[in-house]
Amino acid sequence: MTLYSIGEFSRMSGLTVKTLRFYHEKQLLTPALVEQETGYRNYDKSNLERAHIIVALRELGFALDSILEILAECGDDADVLIFLEERKHQLQDEIRERDDIVRVLDSIIETETNARSEMTKTISEIEEKVLAPILVGGIRMTGRYSDCGKAFRQLGRKLGRHMGGKAMMLCYDDEYREEDADFEPCVPLKREVQAEGVEVRELPGGKCISLVHFGPYEDFGRSYHRLLDYAKEREFSLVNPSREVFIKGPGMIFKGNPKKYVTELQFLIKT
């Protein structure tokens, strides 16, 4: 059985470590193993399925006590989707004015079904390769991952004609964080330059594992799951920061279609 630390599980599930500890205390999401001597929590794949269900139901506005009751009745995520369908028809019959809730239910069912279908169509192979050192200019910041757009626009204004490759983001955390993530938007450079507020340096190379992710950034968790599984099976020690290389994504002005985004996720391997 493959086990994940609470930090690894946080990255895969999109739940903060603080939230995971709270859910454990409420017996909503119990780790597969809690080490007696250290108290460290370890999770497995069944925990991840349950986490996805909890997140979806929380987004619908279900209280934690209600989620506990639902999960007690449902054996897996397929059962939960059936429950949601039945709940939808009840709302249509009994509370016509709450059409907004019905639309959300439809959206969750459609999104999860499409996500599974797209993952099957666009699944890529994990690759082991060697990255060459690369000169980059970056702006390290703390906040929400979505804040990176401001930094990329700043990099574009200051380094535009000197850029020589795909933009990327370096992620320094061992876990998923909502408000205080530690990350660095950066761009490859053709030569060394100076720009106020931008750190220019050589990013070290080395052996890495990589995976091409197709689709929205919000779905990165599924691809990180595959990469972490691959590393654990081969007993690789991964090195932060991880890298997200934006092969195809939003432009400086237009967002584009997130379903068509292409991102390469990279982890350097400790040697």
CA-to-CA dists, residue 232 to 125, 227, 268, angstroms: 16, 9, 14
**Residue 94: what pLDDT?**
73
CA–CA dist 131, 233 (Å, integer): 22
> For residues 64 and 29, is the Cβ–Cβ distance under 8 A?
no
Torsion sign (Cα): 247, 126, 13, 241: negative
Low-confidence ranges of the chain (pLDDT < 70): 75-80, 95-99, 111-112, 114-123, 251-255
Query: How does pLDDT run across 197-252, given as a tens digit for each residue?
Result: 999 999 999 999 999 998 888 889 889 999 999 999 999 999 999 999 999 887 54
Please state the pTM of the whole predicted model. Answer: 0.67
Q: Which CATH number fits domain 127-269: 3.20.80.10, 3.40.309.10, 3.40.190.10, 3.10.180.10?
A: 3.20.80.10
- Write out the DSSP string of 153-205: HHHHHHHGGGB-S--EEEE--SS--SSSEEEEEEEEBSS----TT-EEEEEP-
**Residue 115: what pLDDT?**
58
Domain boundary assignment for the chain: 4-120, 127-269
User: In terms of Cα–Cα distance, which of 85, 79, 82, 90 is closest to 106?
Assistant: 85
**Residue 255: what pLDDT?**
67
Burial of 182: CB neighbours in 10 Å, binned 0-12, 13-18, 19+: middle
CATH topology of 4-120 equal to that of 127-269?
Answer: no
**Residue 192: what pLDDT?**
92
Write out the H or E segment, with its range, that includes residue 138.
Answer: strand 134-138
Torsion sign (Cα): 63, 88, 215, 235: positive
**Residue 256: what pLDDT?**
73
**Residue 211: what pLDDT?**
95
CA–CA dist 241, 155 (Å, integer): 20
**Residue 43: what pLDDT?**
94
Query: How does pLDDT run across 102-119, given as a tens digit for each residue?
Result: 777 787 777 667 655 655
The CATH fold of domain 4-120:
Multidrug-efflux Transporter Regulator; Chain: A; Domain 2 (1.10.1660)
